[in-house]
């Protein structure tokens, strides 16, 4: 059977370093599909290189739509099944009622996207492709609408964190239109067991398969360098609220021993972190490297001895930054939030309660520094078994092909 085409929906990828882990995935999936078309919602200005059979298509969605266009979209008959599928149970009715304007805006935008995708796919002869949204809240509602109408052969979505858990939608209370999506998608792939369990509990009445399909990063091609004489701590995250990187100087001060710290990443909280680090004692060396691509992060681990990876974030999914560190045998010290307990297991690092004090975290770092504390080859082996991108993405590509092969062909064809 001839390999099908794949239509992939992203937020910004392949632009401006966004969703950078997708590059590893595409290196694998590009070999398994005929052509891949990437449709970002918000294209940027600096695209990464893509495999030869992968093309990026700008649908013009970044500019948004006028209020008149959205009202016209909501007046179509498709709005009725979207809303009736969603407004089930008192809690849903109350949540959608409180956030009615926002939810209707999301619905209208996806109705317009569905129209654009249908026209484009028909013109390109791609109705028989598999349509795949990298986020469960991006263009997935539009794909579910098209799948319900029989205009595309199959539609699937990944699900990460903000697009899985209702608590991430503080002002609204619900991941938008989750029920309608589940009723019409061919499969949902959560990136963690935690996400799979959560979705299964909330979508139990729907027959859509919900499975775990882990992300990953490339295995190193060289051994990590030897550890430095002075312990070296690395953190890697965007400098924004919730990541709490400004706490790290206080943690290092509590160590009361010579240490060096490197932070990889940048963001709006940079000035706060600089202020917190300004009065660190002389025996603490530190630097903020700024935002760098994943390829450079890997090069950093390949050329710098790292004693421990530190995360003090208050919210996470299952971070690729930790996978990258594990691939070089680096133990992780982290707060136990999100799905991190699936990645940091006994023998690969230390998890602390979300409310752990700076002194508690400092003590965990000291334990990670001990030469006999962790077997670095065992950490690398744990990485290979669960988060090696070539293995994970080959399995995922096989799964996508199976979904496509078994998808029910709409009668309207």
Measured distance CA(159)–CA(150) in Å, rounded:
23
For residues 292-308, b (16+ Cβ closer than 10 Å) or e, as one string? eebeebbebbeeebbbb
Within 8 A by CB and 6+ apart from 183, the residues are 85, 144, 148, 206, 208
Measured distance CA(9)–CA(277) in Å, rounded:
40
User: What are the E-state strand segments in 93-151?
Assistant: 130-133
pLDDT score at 295: 87
Residue 245 is classified by DSSP as: G
Measured distance CA(195)–CA(176) in Å, rounded:
16
Domains along the chain with CATH numbers: 6-216+389-406 (3.40.50.2000), 232-386 (3.40.50.2000)
Residue 56 — φ and ψ, nearest 5°? -100, 130
Measured distance CA(43)–CA(56) in Å, rounded:
9
Residue 133 — φ and ψ, nearest 5°? -95, 130
Measured distance CA(28)–CA(134) in Å, rounded:
15
The residue among 160, 170, 134, 146 whose CA lies nearest residue 8 is 134
Joined together, the tokens standing for residue 319 give 């971070």
For 347, half-sphere exposure in the C-beta direction (CA atoms, 13 angstrom radius) is: 8
- Tokens 């030869």 locate to 52
Q: Is 150 exposed, middle or buried (0-12, 13-18, 19+ CB in 10 A)?
A: middle
Containing 404, the helix (H) or strand (E) segment is helix 389-406
Joined together, the tokens standing for residue 239 give 């400098």
Instruction: For the chain, give percent helix, strand, coil, nearest 5.
Output: 40, 15, 45
Residue 54: strand, helix, or coil: strand
Hey, which residues does 285 pair with through a beta bridge?
260
pLDDT score at 409: 56
The conformational region for residue 329 under phi > 0 = left, psi -120 to 50 = alpha, else beta, is left
Strands 130-133 and 6-10: parallel
For 219, half-sphere exposure in the C-beta direction (CA atoms, 13 angstrom radius) is: 15
Residue 190 — φ and ψ, nearest 5°? -75, 150
Joined together, the tokens standing for residue 70 give 């959205």
With the CA atoms of 87, 92, 93 and 94 taken in that order, what torsion angle do they form, in degrees rounded to the nearest 10?
-170
Kindly calculate the radius of gyration of the chain based on its CA atoms and give it in whole angstroms: 23
Joined together, the tokens standing for residue 11 give 């937020």
Profile the chain (413 residues) by mean pLDDT over runs of 10 residues. 92 91 94 97 93 97 96 96 92 93 97 98 97 98 97 97 92 94 97 97 95 95 91 97 97 95 97 97 96 91 97 93 96 96 95 96 95 89 96 97 83 36
Joined together, the tokens standing for residue 108 give 């209208």
pLDDT score at 254: 95
Measured distance CA(332)–CA(325) in Å, rounded:
8
pLDDT score at 171: 84
**106, 177 contact by CB (below 8 A):** yes
Within 8 A by CB and 6+ apart from 346, the residues are none
pLDDT score at 108: 98
Alpha helices for 125-247 (secondary structure H): 140-148, 178-184, 193-202
**310, 243 contact by CB (below 8 A):** no
**62, 32 contact by CB (below 8 A):** no
pLDDT score at 411: 36
The residue among 396, 213, 380, 397 whose CA lies nearest residue 301 is 380
How far the first Cα of the chain sits from its last, in Å, is 19
pLDDT score at 373: 80
């Amino acid at each position: 059977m001839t390999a099908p085409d794949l239509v992939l929906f992203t937020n910004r990828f392949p632009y401006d370093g966004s969703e950078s882990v997708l590059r590893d995935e595409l290196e694998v999936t590009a070999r398994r599909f005929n052509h891949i078309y990437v449709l970002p919602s918000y294209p940027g200005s600096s695209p990464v290189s893509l495999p030869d059979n992968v093309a990026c298509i700008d649908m013009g969605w970044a500019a948004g739509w006028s209020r008149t266009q959205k009202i016209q979209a909501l007046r179509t008959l498709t709005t009725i099944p979207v809303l009736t599928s969603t407004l089930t149970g008192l809690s849903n009715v109350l949540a959608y009622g409180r956030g009615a304007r926002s939810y209707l805006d999301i619905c209208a935008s996806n109705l317009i996207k569905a129209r654009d995708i249908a026209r484009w796919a028909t013109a390109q002869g791609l109705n028989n492709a598999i349509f795949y949204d990298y986020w469960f809240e991006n263009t997935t509602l539009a794909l579910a609408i098209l799948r319900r109408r029989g205009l595309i052969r199959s539609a699937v979505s990944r699900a990460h964190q903000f697009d899985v858990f209702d608590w991430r939608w503080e002002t609204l209370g619900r991941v938008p239109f989750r029920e309608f999506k589940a009723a019409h998608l061919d499969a949902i792939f959560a990136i963690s067991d935690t996400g799979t369990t959560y979705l299964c509990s909330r979508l139990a009445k729907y027959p859509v398969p919900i499975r775990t399909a882990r992300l990953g990063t490339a295995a190193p091609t060289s051994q990590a360098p030897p550890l430095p004489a002075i312990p070296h701590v690395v953190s890697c995250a965007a400098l924004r609220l919730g990541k709490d990187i400004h706490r790290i100087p206080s943690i290092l001060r509590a160590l009361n021993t010579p240490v060096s710290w490197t932070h990889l990443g940048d963001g709006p909280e940079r000035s706060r972190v600089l202020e917190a680090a300004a009065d660190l004692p002389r025996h603490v060396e530190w630097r903020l490297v700024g935002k760098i691509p994943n390829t450079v992060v890997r090069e950093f681990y390949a050329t710098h001895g790292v004693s421990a990876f530190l995360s003090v974030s208050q919210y996470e999914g299952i971070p690729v930054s930790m996978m990258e560190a594990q691939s070089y045998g680096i133990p992780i010290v982290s707060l136990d939030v999100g799905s991190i307990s699936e990645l940091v297991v006994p023998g690969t690092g230390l998890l602390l309660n979300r409310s752990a004090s700076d002194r508690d975290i400092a003590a965990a770092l000291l334990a990670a520094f001990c030469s006999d504390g962790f077997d670095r080859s065992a950490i690398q082996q744990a990485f290979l078994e669960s988060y090696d991108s070539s293995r994970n993405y080959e399995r995922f590509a096989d799964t996508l092909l199976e979904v496509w092969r078994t998808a029910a062909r709409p009668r309207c064809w």
